[in-house]
Every structure is written in C-alpha cells, then in structure tokens.
C-alpha cells in the first residue's frame, strides 16, 4: 500500500514523453500501447521498461438522475443536496472506463542512463503506431499510479471532443 506521499511523488514525477496523437473514441473501444520507463531506486543506470496496453471503453453519458444515484450511495445530507442541484440543472457528465491489460504487460531491465533509454524507446515506436502509443517516464515503485495519471490526462484531452460528438448525434 502506498502512502499519500508516495502517491503524490509518483504523480509529480510522471511525464508523458510521447503522447498518443488520437483521443479516446466516442463510440467505440480505444487501445493505447504504453512504454513506461522507470529508474530503479537503489541502482545506478538500471532502468525498467514496461510495455503493455491500456484499453479505454466507450464513454457513457451519466444523466443527472444517474449521477444522483451514484453520488448518494454511502454519502450524507450534503451529497443529497448536491445531487438535487445537479438534477435541477439537468446536468450530465461522461463516465470513462479503463482496463490496464496486465496479461499484455512485459518488462525488461536496461543498463544505461535514463535519457538514453527514453530516447531509444521513443525512437523505436513504429511510425504507424504513434497515433495510439505513449512513452511515459515514471516512478518504479508507483508505476501503476503513473499509468493512472496518464489515463486521467487522456480523459481530459478527449472529453471535449467526446461531448461534441454526443451533441452532434443529439445524445447529450
């Protein structure tokens, strides 16, 4: 279990070196290939490269009524009032689902400087795969937190376009 400081450290030290060119698809499943490069804490020039896939499920529209049900479960009076406010405004939001497919996960250790490994990994991403690939620098002990930060950034980059797509179809 990571402490709050460990989580914050992983978040603060996660950098997307190569970002996917495409966003999360509005009406289908999207797969992103990731290369997560981390330095081992107790070793000099020992770098772990993890390679895997993250699958983003199709975003779902949560209506005000559904938001209220989700918000109220296990919460108190303030949450109920907030949910009522959302219902009165007829608010809606998008729900994103992700799966980190660990069965596709591989890793290797490389003995070189972090800069050299990052450059090599970035240059080895095939041109044809760049639209759906990411190279991420992160923290070895909190590598899963680094991946979660990446997924949150992908949601932030995709949400505006997804909302526009739903509006064009008359769904939002």
82-109 per-position pLDDT tens digit: 667 767 776 677 778 766 555 578 999 9
Calpha distance 66→73 (Å, rounded)? 11
Are 50 and 143 in contact by the 8 Å Cβ rule? The answer is yes
- Check residue 57 and give its pLDDT: 83
Average pLDDT on 121-134 reads 93
Calpha distance 53→55 (Å, rounded)? 6
113-123 per-position pLDDT tens digit: 999 999 999 99
pLDDT band at 170 (very low <50, low <70, confident <90, very high): confident
Calpha distance 95→51 (Å, rounded)? 26
Residue 133: its H or E element = strand 133-139
């Amino acid at each position: 279990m990571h402490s709050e400081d460990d989580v914050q450290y992983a978040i603060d030290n996660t950098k997307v070196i190569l970002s996917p060119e495409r966003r999360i698809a509005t009406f289908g499943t999207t797969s992103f290939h990731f290369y997560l490069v981390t330095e081992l804490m107790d070793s000099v020039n020992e770098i772990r490269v993890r390679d895997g896939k993250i699958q983003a499920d199709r975003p779902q529209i949560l209506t005000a009524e559904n938001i209220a049900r989700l918000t109220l479960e296990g919460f108190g009076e303030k949450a109920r009032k907030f949910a009522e406010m959302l219902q009165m405004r007829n608010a809606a939001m998008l729900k994103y689902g992700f799966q980190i497919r660990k069965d596709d996960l591989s890793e290797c250790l490389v003995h070189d400087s972090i800069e050299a490994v990052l450059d090599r990994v970035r240059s080895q991403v095939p041109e044809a795969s760049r639209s759906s690939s990411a190279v991420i620098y992160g923290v070895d002990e909190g590598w899963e937190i680094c991946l979660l930060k990446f997924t949150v950034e992908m949601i932030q980059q995709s949400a505006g376009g997804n909302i526009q797509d739903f509006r064009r179809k008359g769904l939002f």
